[in-house]
């Protein structure tokens, strides 16, 4: 009875060890008697005890590896440090397990040699401005080379490009000079626009002043013309009224003398003598009387 229980326990343990549950995004590479047998995907799997074994557990998720900076030399003999980030995914667990020893290290070394070859064909300025070109070339070369390892390279990014210190200082000076040049250009353009606006403002102001002065002169002239018209109309009306009243020559002469009397009371220095010399005596008499009244 004790032997039976022992055998039963051993059987249960063996069964438990032979039942495998493969999780999502994982793959198990199974060997049977030392040779590749099959690849298990997610789900419940069974293996033959003492015959089958799990050779490798492969992660099927996309993997990101940030490799250390590598020294590279450009076409114009400038040594710089460049580090890269590689995104890849295992598409064939069998090839990944048996294709190459230490696949991650193999990818790192392949990335370094590929980067040196690409940078060696570029000059410094091209290297600094051609990251997209470098990324595309590296991804294409790495993807083709890693197909035999069951790896799909999805993306390669140049993370940092570090030129020597003296070149960095020269580049910083150049950038500073370029920024100062742009600043001066912008300042000059601003001053130019400001001067133009001021000149246009002064021009418009002068035009408006001239138009205002013109309008004022026109209004003044119109006012004077209307006043002169009113005066002439009043004189014409006065003459017309005298004629309508039937005024004779004596009345008109008396009106003239009355006007001369008013002139004598003012500060006028000239007196106009009537053309009718026959009435000079009477004119003198009237003038004398008016001077007495004034005293």
What are the extents of the domains in the chain? 2-59, 63-163, 174-246, 254-266+282-295
Pick from 265, 257, 266, 264: nearest CA to 286: 257
* SS3 per-residue string spanning 85-109: EEEEEECCHHHHHHCCCCHHHHHHH
Range 131-138, long-range pairs (CB < 8 A, 24+ positions)? 131/158, 131/161, 134/158, 138/84, 138/111, 138/114
CB contact at 8 A, 155 and 134: no
2-59 belongs to CATH 3.30.110: no
Q: What is the pLDDT along the chain (295 residues), one digit of tens a residue?
A: 677 778 778 778 777 778 888 888 899 999 988 889 999 888 888 888 888 888 899 999 999 998 888 888 888 888 888 889 999 999 999 999 998 888 888 999 999 999 999 988 888 888 888 888 889 999 999 999 998 899 999 999 988 888 877 777 777 777 788 888 888 888 888 888 888 888 888 888 888 888 888 888 888 888 888 888 888 787 777 777 766 666 555 555 555 555 555 555 555 455 555 555 445 445 444 444 444 444 4
Classify domain 63-163 at the CATH class level. alpha beta
């Amino acid at each position: 009875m004790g032997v039976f229980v022992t055998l039963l326990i051993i059987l249960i343990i063996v069964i438990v060890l032979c039942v495998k549950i493969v999780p999502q995004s994982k793959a198990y590479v199974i060997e049977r008697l030392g040779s590749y047998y099959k690849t298990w995907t997610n789900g419940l799997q069974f293996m033959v005890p003492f015959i089958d074994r799990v050779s490798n557990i492969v992660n099927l998720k996309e993997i990101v590896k940030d490799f250390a900076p590598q020294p590279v030399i450009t076409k114009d003999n400038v040594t710089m440090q460049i580090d890269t980030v590689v995104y890849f995914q295992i598409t064939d667990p069998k090839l990944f397990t048996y294709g190459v020893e230490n696949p991650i290290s193999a990818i790192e070394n392949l990335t370094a040699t590929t980067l040196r070859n690409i940078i060696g064909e570029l000059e410094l300025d091209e290297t600094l401005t051609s990251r997209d070109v470098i990324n595309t070339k590296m991804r294409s070369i790495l993807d083709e080379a890693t197909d035999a390892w069951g790896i799909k390279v999805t993306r390669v990014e140049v993370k940092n490009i570090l030129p020597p210190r003296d070149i960095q200082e020269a580049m910083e000076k150049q950038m500073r000079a370029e920024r100062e040049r742009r600043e001066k250009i912008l300042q000059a353009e601003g001053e130019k626009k400001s001067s133009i606006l001021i000149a246009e403002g002064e021009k418009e102001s002068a035009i408006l002043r001239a138009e205002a002065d013109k309008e004022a002169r026109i209004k003044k002239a119109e006012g004077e013309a209307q006043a002169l018209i009113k005066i002439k109309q009043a004189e014409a009306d006065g003459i017309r009224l005298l004629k309508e009243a039937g005024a004779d020559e004596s009345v008109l002469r008396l009106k003239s003398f009355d006007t001369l009397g008013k002139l004598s009371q003012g500060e006028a220095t000239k007196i106009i003598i009537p053309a009718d010399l026959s009435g000079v005596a009477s004119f003198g008499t009237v003038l004398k009387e008016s001077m007495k009244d004034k005293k």
